[in-house]
Amino acid sequence: MPRKLPRQARSQALVEAILDATAHILIRSGRDAANTNAIAVEAGVSIGSLYQYFPNRDAILSALVHRHGHRIHALVTEAMQPPPETLDEAIRRVVHAVFAAHRIDPGLHDALDHDFAHGPGAHHHPTTKQAVAEQMGLLPEAVRAEIRCVDAAHAPLVVAEIAHSLAHAALVHPPEPRDEAAIERQAVSAVLAYLRAG
């Protein structure tokens, strides 16, 4: 946990600079390079200022993970307001939101998946998959009634996996240039086909 929360605009800007610097180091050099001294230098702040808000590197990394996860969650949640009236509309919105979430910072997204998604003591940050599964569970009853897949209980998880996997393939270090819009359309088609396969 941070030592204290930033209250004023100046302190908030300092904390944001520290988190941005940490993200840059993670993307460029990986987790091992993100020590507090390197972060302070990258952020252009004194090590004393850094320690006013964060007791150690893990607290900084945790705050960065939380910030990134919060942005993703907010984007997916906002995409589903007002509630969709049809299943087609719901899936178009949720898949578009997943692709948009992967555009927020693909390099950071990849670094967090690589360094924090697995292993004991890992930072299990909020993910696009969690946000999608949550929103699928909140669909209006009339929209849920359109779902015809055999195991509807697992539909939120499957939809999240399909959308996330295709967005990741299209936007996070693709091996070659890809038509993002075309892959997004195919993701919508794949999800709808799955949900209607009764």
With residues binned 3-state (H G I as helix, E B as strand, rest as coil), the percentages for the chain, rounded to 5, are: 70, 0, 30
Distance CA 169, CA 185 (A): 14
Q: Can you give the pLDDT of all 198 residues of the chain as single tens digits? A: 555 666 678 889 999 999 999 999 999 998 899 999 999 999 999 999 999 999 999 999 989 988 888 888 899 999 999 999 999 999 999 999 999 988 888 888 788 776 665 443 444 455 778 889 899 999 999 999 999 998 888 999 999 999 988 998 888 877 788 899 999 999 999 999 999 997
Distance CA 103, CA 109 (A): 9
For 26, the token pair is 């993670």
- H/E stretch holding 43 reads helix 36-43
pLDDT recorded at residue 122: 44
DSSP 107-176: HHHHHHHHHHSSSTT------HHHHHHHHHHT--HHHHTT---TTGGGHHHHHHHHHHHHHHHHHSS-SS
pLDDT recorded at residue 35: 96
Q: Is the peptide bond before 140 cis (omega within 30 degrees of 0)?
A: no
pLDDT recorded at residue 1: 53
pLDDT recorded at residue 88: 98
Contacts of 30 (CB under 8 A, 6+ apart): 111, 115
For 183, the token pair is 């892959």
Please identify which residue in the block is written with the tokens 């952020």. 43
Q: Which domains does the chain have, with CATH numbers?
A: 1-55 (1.10.10.60), 66-195 (1.10.357)
Distance CA 25, CA 42 (A): 8
